[in-house]
A and B are shown apart, each in its own frame.
Chain A
Amino acid sequence: MSEPTRRSVLKTSVFLACCGISHVRLARARAGPVEALPVKEITGGIFAFAGRPEMMTAKNEGEICNVSFIVGDEAVAVIDSGGSVAEGRELVAAIRARTGKPIRYLINTHMHPDHIFGNAAFGETGAIVVGHHNLPRALTARGDYYLQSYREAMGSELMADIRIIPPTKLITGEEQLDLGKRKLTLKAWKPAHTDNDLTIFDEQTGTLFTGDLCFIEHLPTMDGSLLGWIAQLEELKGIKAKFAVPGHGPVPSAWPEALEQEQRYFDALARDIRKAIADGVPMAEAVKTAAESERDNWRLFDEYNVRNATAAFAELEWE
């Protein structure tokens, strides 16, 4: 891909503005066919791409979480669409490079932008968007804010195509989807990472897609309920999977060992915050040192730990 110079972009912008054509569209046309996301086949018919443990930026096109697809006899299911429509299109290209079968489902594991900003890339595939029964409500509360607040980090060009597309098939409790001789079990969890976490289990290969209920390397982020997350770790561990595709971290990962890192972090965070609350330390002070012992075990600790501590403090105060 050749980068247009700043001057040529400015010139074409002026020219195209006169013609009423967006320069974004031209830039894409010039880039030629969409490159396929470099997915790898981790086991029979399951392909995954491991995102980078970074913040979403224009440079990484929001490709920070793990995205996957599963090919059945009749159809394909996609798990998360990525952090931009650009990534979503690359994912569609990766699917098309492997199979011509229809993409029947696009499953969103939860509300966060790195997992759903690519949804618009699947508009033409006819895929049914599937999510937790709380996901539409969560996107209603946050969608506009996400579109506003990511503009700075992602740039207006990447953001231009992004739409908040809520699921139309909603999961309550457990439900199965069939891809043709391949059954996926979807489970809607109680509030943990968010209040709309969904996991997907492929019976044929024993692969568990945890969404962000499992973080490895990338510090977990707290946007639901710390207590709910800790409480459900036992149930999560009980799933008889051979291995896991976590929301962030190596693909695939050993199961249930994949949960050990985050469990240790949650324990440290809850312990430190509970002590601060008991001692009467104000929130603003307590969050500065909570879970400090975990600093060297994670990427993005400085970006997310204070925020996690803040959310944990507000929750644990009610114990």
Chain B
Amino acid sequence: MTIKPIRLRSRVVAFVFLALVGLAVPFAAGAQSASVPDTKTWDGLKGDVFGQKPIGDAGGIISIDAPKRAEDAAIVPIDLHFKTDAATGRIKAVTLIVDENPSPVAAVFQFGKDAGVTHLATRLRVNAYSYVRAIAETEDGKLHMTQTFVKASGGCSAPAMKNQDEALASLGKMKLRVFTSKTPGNEPMTRATEMQLMIRHPNNSGLQMDQLTRYYIPAHFIQGLTVSQGDRLIMSMEGGISISEDPNFRFEFDAKPGEDVKVEAADTEGKKFQDEWPVESSSL
């Protein structure tokens, strides 16, 4: 193993890392042939991620959309919608899990207090027939879960990089798109705005064994990401290897016209990437 030590920032990331170390077994044991949804993996997994904390139904607080079949195993679009006006209070954090992946915790997102994030879309690697689940933690400390079942891709699609040289050549390059808002906001100070953040990164899983040397390729992925506007945190992410190559996040939040959007990211090799974009009032 040549995986470089990473600083563990929470037990969830520690879990991601441990899953990475003990990777050979879970990969081989993946429930590839199980075409009938089975929650056995989750039953064994939830204690590792959430301890003894009870996990309730989503009850409309969070919903998830994913294609029924992972057409491209390396790029499976996932859509999350949040209902922030629930009696339980706003959503503080969301954990995204792909049960049957070698490292199931794909990401943990934390949302800023007044960020007003209502929608988040990203792309995942899905290795096998698997539940993809999202667990929201509301301000009252309760957990709410929703899930969807994704069938593995057919044909020669694999959850691996398509153009490895390109991914490395433009490492860390970022792009931010602001979409014209669909519904004109009433408040003068903030408006729901949709943005898309793209980061060039191989987000390499480190789960592949070199057939000749029998060593695992070192993992290399974005492990931390922060999006803020002005001094406000919009969201942060602790990432794992199930996030697709070139991590991509499309999200809706309450934007303040005229304040810059700033993104900081760090990967497992200690490389830091950052960028800033002005957000014109006219674009909101």
Contacts and interface: CB of A to CB of B under 8 A. Distances in A.
Interface of A: 55-56, 112-114, 134, 136-146, 148-149, 151-153, 164, 166, 191, 194-195, 221-225, 228, 280, 282-284, 287, 303-304, 306-307, 310-311, 314-315, 317-318
A145 B159 contact: yes
A282 B165 CA distance: 27
Contacts of B152: 149
Q: Is the interface of A mostly helix, strand, loop or mixed?
A: helix
Nearest to B208: A141
Contacts of A114: 156
B186 interface: no
B75 A314 contact: yes
B161 interface: yes
B218 interface: no
A284 B158 contact: no
Interface of B: 27-28, 30, 32-33, 35, 65, 67, 71-75, 77, 79, 121, 123, 127-128, 152-166, 175, 177, 179-180, 198, 200, 208-212, 217, 244, 246, 248, 250
B154 A303 contact: yes
User: Taking each of A112, A153, A223, A228, which has the highest tally of chain B beta carbons within 10 Å of its own beta carbon?
Assistant: A223
Contacts of B155: 55-56, 221, 303-304, 307
Contacts of A146: 156, 158
A191 B158 contact: no
B102 to A, nearest CB: 10
A222 B33 CA distance: 25
Given A191-B165, A310-B71, A280 B158 contact: no
B27 A144 contact: yes
B276 to A, nearest CB: 19
A143 B211 contact: yes
B37 to A, nearest CB: 16
A145 B27 CA distance: 9
